[in-house]
Amino acid sequence: MLIAVRAAVSAVVLAVLSLLGVTILGASAAHAVDTTLVGNFTAPDGSSIPDVSITVSDDAGFSDTATSDANGDFAIPLPGGGTYAIEIDVTTLPDGIALQTPEDASRSLLVLGGEKKIITKLVEGEGGGGNDGGFLDVSGDQVLQLLFDGLLFGIMIALGALGLNLVFGTTGLTNFSHGDLLTLGAFTALILNEAGLHIIIAAPIAIVIAAVLFGWGQNKVLWRPLRRRKTGLIAMMIITIGLAIVIRYGVALFFGGAPRNFNQYAGQAGIEIGPVSTTPKALILAGLATIALILTVIWVQRSRIGKATRAVSDNPALASATGIDVEKVIAVVWTLAAGLAAFSGIYLGLTQDNIWNMGQRVLLIIFASVILGGLGTVYGAIIGALVVGVFIQLTSLVIPTEMKTVGALFVMIVILMIRPQGILGRRERVG
């Protein structure tokens, strides 16, 4: 009973963090603006280039075209955060001017919300600047911006990766439905938000509901009975795949396939921090997520139930022999994992959009983070997520944006070839 109470307390702590964050976001509500893509076309000699045509579209059917004004500036209002395809009509560029990176004529871009500025470098000539926009032509400001974006993305991924790793560490279960826990958390908040609750209230309530219903409840109804029946881990893993499909298409059935935004903070005015641009909500959410990660690490390292969790992770049979209630520990872990996943899903929904397959889109990245950091390790999940997040952003400097995830996965493969147990994983003897 005491452990169940502590599980509820953990969920409430996550909810309070969410409430604190969105309350702070409320202070900047007066500055909220629609999501907008902005940019500028400037010739190599510094003169502005007007009448350049640029088209932006997404998979949901949105499409808009704008032309640069007399100052070379353009602005295209967007329906919300998400991934957009950008097409520059190179035939509208003046004679003797070309894109330094030819691939910039057609690329995809992740927009988190607010004002997103894109950088398009132009050179003299008809075919680009000689090295096809290689890494040597990248500015320091671009690298800093991508590093910053990568850290923010990595922090969001770390919330999901940490929960997945805790479940794997205590049960050995590889949960392919974990990404859909992010979706359930985000859509629980969306339901409450559309029912009339401000996101400041809806977010923490959704985290508690997700922790109790989709974490503790899922374990009690599904996984605990399967463990009692001695169901094998392979069979249980296959069940998670089926569960993921049911959740994913269930959300699509009831909510449709179009992206949906929360009623508040769909867009915010951007802020500049030196050479880096971002939004207040992105900073605040990243800060709160960092606090949640730190508190979770402290909980695992210092608290009595946290130490019991580590004991179960190391050797469940020995932990049970010493008097630890393994099933109660697992219930707490499932509760915490679902709460962290819900927090991550709401984070993703606030900075991008809510869509039925949002969890599936980041599941591979979450798994990559867990494997890279080391299976079953708390610190490994966090470090792995940060490394993957940064590499995903940085690889867009040298490969097309739509393929940037491939670069991070390639780095994961290389690191695992050198250190198979992951960055912080322990080497184990087999046989």
CATH of residue 69: 2.60.40.10
Residues contacting residue 223 through CB under 8 Å, at least 6 positions apart: 171, 173, 236, 330, 334
Residues of the chain scoring pLDDT < 70: 1-34, 112-115, 125-139, 267-269, 400-402, 425-431
- Show the CA angle centred on residue 116, arms to residues 112 and 118, nearest 5°: 125
424 domain-assigned:
no
Residues contacting residue 158 through CB under 8 Å, at least 6 positions apart: 289, 293, 369, 381, 382, 385, 386
Q: Which two tokens stand for residue 310?
A: 């580590």
H or E stretch at 418: helix 404-418
Task: Measure the CA–CA gap between 300 and 170, rounded to whole angstroms.
Answer: 12
**Closest alpha carbon to 350 in 162, 153, 112:** 112
85 in the same domain as 50: yes
86 in the same domain as 117: yes
Boundary-marking domain end, from 108, 139, 170: 139
384 in the same domain as 338: yes
Q: How many Cβ atoms sit within 10 Å of the Cβ of residue 235?
A: 10
H or E stretch at 110: strand 106-111
**Closest alpha carbon to 173 in 226, 234, 229, 218:** 234
Q: Which two tokens stand for residue 190?
A: 């969306």
pLDDT for the residue 137: 52
Task: Measure the CA–CA gap between 422 and 431, rounded to whole angstroms.
Answer: 20
φ, ψ for residue 48, nearest 5 deg: -75, 150
pLDDT for the residue 133: 42
185 in the same domain as 322: yes
The label of the residue with tokens 């690329």 reads 107
φ, ψ for residue 257, nearest 5 deg: -95, -5
342 domain-assigned:
yes
430 domain-assigned:
no
3-state DSSP assignment of residue 50: coil
The label of the residue with tokens 């704008």 reads 66
242 in the same domain as 293: yes
Task: Measure the CA–CA gap between 406 and 412, rounded to whole angstroms.
Answer: 10
CATH of residue 11: 1.10.3470
DSSP state of 37: E
Q: Are strands 97-99 and 122-124 parallel, antiparallel or unpaired?
A: antiparallel
Q: Which amino acid is at 158?
A: A
**Closest alpha carbon to 8 in 372, 332, 428, 340:** 332
pLDDT for the residue 231: 92
| Full residue range of the structural domain in which residue 52 is found | 35-139
286 in the same domain as 304: yes
Boundary-marking domain end, from 104, 139, 174: 139
343 domain-assigned:
yes
Task: Measure the CA–CA gap between 287 and 82, rounded to whole angstroms.
Answer: 21
How far is Cα of residue 427 from the mean position of the Cα atoms in its chain?
29
Q: Name residue 272's beta-bridge partners.
A: 277
423 domain-assigned:
no
| H helices present in 303-403, as ranges | 304-314, 316-321, 326-351, 358-373, 378-394
Boundary-marking domain end, from 139, 163, 187: 139
215 in the same domain as 194: yes
pLDDT for the residue 31: 38
190 in the same domain as 59: no
317 in the same domain as 243: yes
pLDDT for the residue 27: 40
φ, ψ for residue 176, nearest 5 deg: -80, -5
285 in the same domain as 197: yes
Q: Tally the domains of the chain.
A: 2
Q: Which amino acid is at 385?
A: A
Task: Measure the CA–CA gap between 161 and 383, rounded to whole angstroms.
Answer: 10
Q: Which amino acid is at 167?
A: V
Residues contacting residue 250 through CB under 8 Å, at least 6 positions apart: none
Task: Measure the CA–CA gap between 294 and 290, rounded to whole angstroms.
Answer: 6
Q: Which amino acid is at 207?
A: I
107 in the same domain as 16: no
426 domain-assigned:
no
25 in the same domain as 68: no
pLDDT in tens, 26-85: 444 433 346 788 888 888 777 888 889 899 988 878 889 988 888 888 888 888 777 788
- CA distances 231 to 123, 171, 251, 398, Å, are 63, 12, 28, 46
| H helices present in 140-232, as ranges | 140-171, 178-194, 199-209, 218, 224-228
428 domain-assigned:
no
425 domain-assigned:
no
Q: Do the Cβ atoms of 160 and 337 come closer than 8 Å?
A: no
- Angle separating helix axes 199-209 and 326-351, nearest 10 degrees: 150
